[in-house]
Structure 1
């Protein structure tokens, strides 16, 4: 969850997270420990301050830029498209943008390298953004020098979702004679796969209708970690220096993905959708279920939108309901940003002002501020349904572990590498999980050596 930067608000489907090259560049970046947070930069009297902002064009539109500049005539925005490789280059050169976008989950690596600004001094002075108004999802941007979730805040979430929830097309369920999913009770993953098989329609060796989409290219780490937690297991050790896919809980989660792929009920990295995302296929009524967060409902508010869409709780593998956000995209200020005071004004405007309220009303994700939750739309039947599901799912929200010693993109692409081998029966599940564990632990060891 994750990225409306690209349709949703995360980074890009396997360009959103499958960036081995980007991860390698980032891993080689030096540790920057910089000046203090809280001030910085500005133009001389009578001159405009130009702030450079690297975000998705869908977020900071030309209209929003014009509105902000009209309200802040002393500030000009230089907007550049979100590009992780370019950001890494700018950070390494000591000439970063004033604002960057990134996931709260995944920020530990950035924070451990001293690349982000502590926002506490800004929050203490702000009348717009207050720490006690921030949703708990923002805590994944916290860093206490050793782990995320505690300490000062180094970023603020834009909007977010619990990304392992389900959306489905009731018309396709009715056509296949399959009962609708419950609005309150979580389906098991095993039952979900059985249902997906009933909903899948084959024509000429291909799927005319996919029974289930998993947004495979967007995240594997997130849903698998949730599956493991649902069984009472843990993927990492206590200090996040080692990972273990050989546990019974992890192997069960890994095998479910293999079974899903071999059943041929939905897209995988071996059989991807042309646009690498579920929405267009789902909207064309060629996918019965998709595993997506609350944000997905923002697609259906138009007059011509699909009317047979509903939301259901996150499925479970085990006895414990766990519904995390995979990313929680937000804004952060690089430590070496030159115009922090002006950048903070834009953060207040975008994250706590009218744009934030507009996003909440649209249903494109849950707001990052508690005070905006009441703005979520409830006019249309599917919006009422989604609101009910969300209120229940919030009780099962749980942060994902975020090791500072490895980037989430690298974890995702490595999982996918070994899934492909298991799907093709080149490796057994046991051997694939053992090899996956060894490769990721080698990467973690290298990351720990670099960071210290």
Structure 2
């Protein structure tokens, strides 16, 4: 009898071990290329969401492949035959992904979810991921452009949020002592990536009415080699050299440099996106509650200008686990998860109802960035945005370092024209 009991127990143990192994074998690993896990405070927010997803979906495990920007890593993996399953993507990289044909069309997945899901997302932001009738990517979180400022500095100086370029210049001068504090911070370095400076230069150029590219006869060429383009670069150059309201070394100033300077009170204002709000608090918790924002003043343009800096989500066409990947995408786009991520990171949610919540509308900075979403513009729909951005940042650098602005703009336009000529071949 004892031997039989032992035999039964042994068989049960073997069966249990076998079932565990079978379950483990059935666990799908989704490789997720994203920038969230390599920056604060996004890392903690993403890990919290992933833990919740894996709890709700025990048959799926998310494997992070962290890189900023995601596209650089994604391209390396795809070309190396190691295609991941899901990726984040900056808007300027979507045209290149379209040309390579590596993204799954999400249109059938969206249709299957129904109108309620589709209508829950901000239409303007969602449309930016649609090319030729194919929804290549969906927005994960929203970003726009505005001037972030230290409300304490403004209050102590008796200043209100500027509404015109003249008021912006005047406030910058008043807030600068040239030693411990400067009125304006400008991201002027191409390191670690030109995108950081380009993304802040783009909306300023558009505020002056300058186009980065213009299309004539089906061909793209530089659209800023004119008075509007010159004025936009001249304005920034004057802030540095004429009014001296920007910290020294602007051509070497990365986004991290300027953001940390702002967080620690050495810089009173900076043209940036809403992610800076959360990152500044991570840099210096004492800045929390001391930030406001205003739209960059119209400078000859008929409307305000903001850059579409949203981060998108896409499924790779060659993924072997598309159904599981969609479950993760769908999970991230649930309103409650959008709001959870936004509250931690200050990235704006892409679900329309969430943008109306008190934690955004009662925040003096986030409510302005939410308003700026109405003015978001996409980068030109070409695969060469990285090269174009680098040329424009070099233009700003050369002007700041003393080259006549008109000459710097003309040289940048020639570089951009050359880039687009090569793209035709």
Q: Shorter-chain TM-score: what band?
A: 0.7 to 0.9
Q: 2:200, 2:47 → 1: CA distance? A: 35
From the two aligned structures, give the one with the greater helix fraction.
2
Q: 1:211, 1:436 → 2: CA distance? A: 28
2:131 is aligned with 1:143: yes
Match of 1:342 among 315, 321, 324: 324
Q: How does 1:231-310 map to 2 (within 5 A)?
A: 231-238=208-215, 239=218, 241-262=220-241, 263-267=243-247, 270-273=250-253, 276-298=256-278, 304-310=286-292
Secondary structure in structure 1 of the residue aligned to 2:89? strand
- Report how far residue 343 of structure 1 moved: 0.8
Confirm or deny: 8 A CA contact 2:187 2:200 kept in the other structure.
no
Distance 1:134 1:269, change over 3 A: farther
Distance 1:375 1:216, change over 3 A: farther
Structure-1 residue corresponding to 2:56: 71
2:151 is aligned with 1:170: yes
Structure-2 residue corresponding to 1:410: 387
Secondary structure in structure 2 of the residue aligned to 1:173? helix
- Report how far residue 49 of structure 1 moved: 1.5
TM-score (norm 2): 0.80
Match of 1:112 among 99, 109, 112: 99
Confirm or deny: 8 A CA contact 1:294 1:363 kept in the other structure.
no
Structure-2 residue corresponding to 1:445: 421
- Compute the RMSD of aligned alpha carbons: 3.1
Structure-2 residue corresponding to 1:357: 339
2:359 is aligned with 1:386: no
Secondary structure in structure 2 of the residue aligned to 1:292? strand
- Report how far residue 99 of structure 1 moved: 0.8
Equivalences, count: 385
Distance 1:341 1:199, change over 3 A: same
Q: 1:62, 1:390 → 2: CA distance? A: 25
Structure-1 residue corresponding to 2:65: 80
Q: How does 1:65-214 map to 2 (within 5 A)?
A: 65-82=50-67, 84-126=71-113, 130-135=117-122, 136-144=124-132, 151-163=133-145, 165-175=146-156, 177-181=157-161, 186-188=163-165, 190-203=166-179, 208-214=180-186
Q: 1:400, 1:359 → 2: CA distance? A: 24
- Report how far residue 294 of structure 1 moved: 3.4
Distance 1:231 1:171, change over 3 A: closer
**Deviation digits for residues 180-209 of structure 1, max 9, x if unmatched?**
215xxx332x43233212211223xxxx11
Structure-2 residue corresponding to 1:428: 404
Distance 1:86 1:106, change over 3 A: closer
Q: 1:274, 1:181 → 2: CA distance? A: 25
More deviation, 208-217/274-283? 274-283
Unaligned runs of 5+ in 1: 1-42, 145-150
Distance 1:81 1:46, change over 3 A: closer
Q: 2:88, 2:370 → 1: CA distance? A: 27
Confirm or deny: 8 A CA contact 2:96 2:383 kept in the other structure.
yes
**Deviation digits for residues 59-90 of structure 1, max 9, x if unmatched?**
57443333211211111222111254432121
- Report how far residue 46 of structure 1 moved: 6.7
Confirm or deny: 8 A CA contact 1:360 1:375 kept in the other structure.
no
- Report how far residue 319 of structure 1 moved: 4.3
- Report how far residue 152 of structure 1 moved: 2.0
Structure-1 residue corresponding to 2:11: none
Secondary structure in structure 2 of the residue aligned to 1:321? coil
Q: 2:25, 2:393 → 1: CA distance? A: 54
TM-score (norm 1): 0.76
Distance 1:159 1:268, change over 3 A: farther
Confirm or deny: 8 A CA contact 2:293 2:368 kept in the other structure.
yes
**Deviation digits for residues 300-328 of structure 1, max 9, x if unmatched?**
59985444322222222114232323421
Distance 1:448 1:372, change over 3 A: farther
